[in-house]
Chains A and B, each alone.
Chain A
Amino acid sequence: MQFLQSPWPWYVAGPLIGLFAPLLLWLGNRLFGVSSNLRHLCAAIAPRGLAYLSYDWRREGGWNLAFVLGIVIGGVLAGAVFANPEPVAIAASTRATLASLGIHDLTGLVPRELFSWSSLATARGWIAIVGGGFLVGFGTAYAGGCTSGHGISGVANLEAPSFIALAGFFAGGLLGTFVLLPLVLGMR
């Protein structure tokens, strides 16, 4: 049981993650990328005559929506059924930094203080969940891909746009971590 619950080291997870770009290419000439699904879902629910959302989403995105449904199932299995009961083994320096920002509970996959339902009623929870989600959806659509589509697929195909996007991901992440997050966590 403990064997199924413990997290995997980077040298196991990393190579496995890298296999999905060639795997999907081999399965059916599919480009590995998760953020397209946000577009497919919008096209399915509210295309509203917008050119960007007017296409046959079942035909172009059916396989990818099945893939993302699989990700949810994978999350159920690995994150709920066989969840790691121990607090995450992050660096002591990160623990100290997060504690100084008011994040103390390191069990689970996200800080409960920030991602609980009651937190949604606070400014900091609302900005992290609703604001953060919006930036992810807008940014990936604008950039034409996310960590998987650009960071793995595009880089694996040695594409200049994906290297630019990857640099942008990190620039935004650093700005978010060192500027935005301390402000947001300081709110009530």
Chain B
Amino acid sequence: MTHAETRDDVERAEDTYEWRSTPRTSAPAPGLWAYLLAGTLFGIVLTKGEAISWFRIQEMFRFQGFHMFGIFATALPTAIVGVQLLKRRWRRTLGGDTIVVPPKHLGSGVRYAAGGTTFGLGWALTGACPGPLFALLGSGVGTMAVAIASAMLGTWTYARVRRSLPH
């Protein structure tokens, strides 16, 4: 859609790209334990890879070290190849469903630029994006509980004012 979008478009777009409705599965879908386990592994990789280190994020934004760039430069090709192979070649989930990745709704693009920049400011201050906030809490940085609560308040505020924001 290229013309100015209506508010309904924004609502609809969110149904299709921020997550999907729970799919019907032809075979038993993995239970929550599988996602708990996957999350645990992800938390370990984030932490041991120092992607949750405030210092590493500073090193990255100051372009003084390769570590974080190396992580992105290897994570992205791996993710691209994996997702594209799943979509085009293997096409099925573990439960036998067709793999579908609904496209994101571009709209004017303002939300991605403005929202992304706002998040980037917070990323530089806390040294953490949402995943690392939770991993840091687990690693014993208690004040991250306050940062998470504040992030929830931020998301809630967005919910409250989103009608008046350009998307």
Question: Which A residues contact B (CB, under 8 angstroms)?
Answer: 7-31, 33-39, 41-42, 45-46, 50-53, 59-64, 66-80, 83, 88, 90-91, 93-94, 97-98, 106, 108-111, 114-117, 119-120, 125, 127-148, 150-162, 164-178, 180-181, 184
Contacts and interface: CB of A to CB of B under 8 A. Distances in A.
A83 B44 CA distance: 11
Interface string B143-167: 1101111111111111110100100
7 contacts: A29-B99, A31-B19, A94-B64, A110-B141, A132-B126, A144-B17, A168-B114
Interface residues of B, number: 129
Contact of B146 (A33, A77, A108, A130): A130
Contacts of B100: 29
Contacts of B85: 22
A138 B153 CA distance: 8
A138 to B, nearest CB: 4
Nearest to B71: A14
Q: Is the interface of A mostly helix, strand, loop or mixed?
A: helix
Contact of B43 (A72, A160, A180): A72
A169 B30 CA distance: 33
A122 to B, nearest CB: 12
Contacts of B127: 110
Nearest to A4: B48
Interface of B: 11, 14, 17-23, 25, 29-30, 32-62, 64-80, 82-87, 90, 93-95, 97, 99-101, 103-106, 109, 111-131, 133-144, 146-160, 162, 165
Given A60-B21, A133-B133, A88 B38 contact: no
A114 B136 CA distance: 14
Nearest to A79: B139
A14 B60 CA distance: 14
A20 B69 CA distance: 18
Contacts of A51: 11
Contacts of A184: 125
B155 A164 contact: no
